[in-house]
Amino acid sequence: MRPGERLTEEQLAAAFNVSRTVVRQAMARLAQDGILEKLANVGSTVASPSRKQTRDILSVRKMVEPEIVRSLAASPSVAGLAKLRAHIAEEVDARKRGDRGTLVRLTGEFHLLLAELAGNELLARLMTGLQALTCLAILLHAEREDACPPDEHSTIVAAIAAGDGEAAAQEMLHHLQHVEKDLRLDRPEPKSTLAWLRGGAERERT
């Protein structure tokens, strides 16, 4: 779903064939995590992270993710490495097919997989929210195909496999800095999303 897209309980209940009560609970959780926003006269919409919010998100990720890969490199798991390599193969396939939506999702899920392999449930939950917001920011602000350069995930996995925690941490930090640079977050905030939302509010009133 695109940033700024409006969602209703009825729409989601029909799409997933569940009750509106279930949808309402899920939407409340997503709103708590900042993934949905409630706007007066508009309703619930998919979040549209500003450049300032995106900088804050990436700042937290730069504190957390180098330590995740450092811990994984301390005791590399054969099964974990196999999962990471299989995931990267899916990214490569999506990139070859030019499937941008799938590619953005997969490149985000790579980071979630790292958090899951670390075996810390709270950390995995934190990363789930941060990564969802990052994907929305990429769809809004990235000029590259995915803002996640090819081969950098492979380099991180290679450092983990070698048991080199310092190299893995540095590669992850470099990767996140690269993502931030490609998003060009120093530019003025775009007005198109806000204009779309204002237009939606006007349509609701009429």
Query: How far apart are alpha carbons 103 and 11 in whole angstroms?
Result: 26
Q: Is 6 helix (H, G, I), strand (E, B) or coil?
A: strand
The pLDDT score that the predictor gives to residue 203 is: 41
Tokens for 20? Answer: 């509106």
Q: Is the overall model pTM greater than 0.85, yes or no? A: no
Given pLDDT bands bounded at 50, 70 and 90, which one contains residue 146? Answer: low
Average pLDDT of the segment spanning 69-92 = 96
3-state class (DSSP) for residue 110: helix
pLDDT at 193: 45
Over residues 96-122, the pLDDT tens digits come to 998 887 888 899 899 999 999 999 999
d(CA 155, CA 61): 18
* pLDDT tens, position by position, 147-170: 567 799 999 999 999 999 999 999
Q: What is the pLDDT of residue 163?
A: 97
**In this predicted structure, what is the pLDDT of residue 98?**
87
Quick one: tokens of 156? 């991180």
Q: What is the pLDDT of residue 68?
A: 97
pLDDT tens digit string along 121-130? 999 989 998 9
CB 127 within 8 A of CB 111: yes
Judged by average pLDDT, the poorest of 3-7, 146-150, 169-173, 200-204 is: 200-204
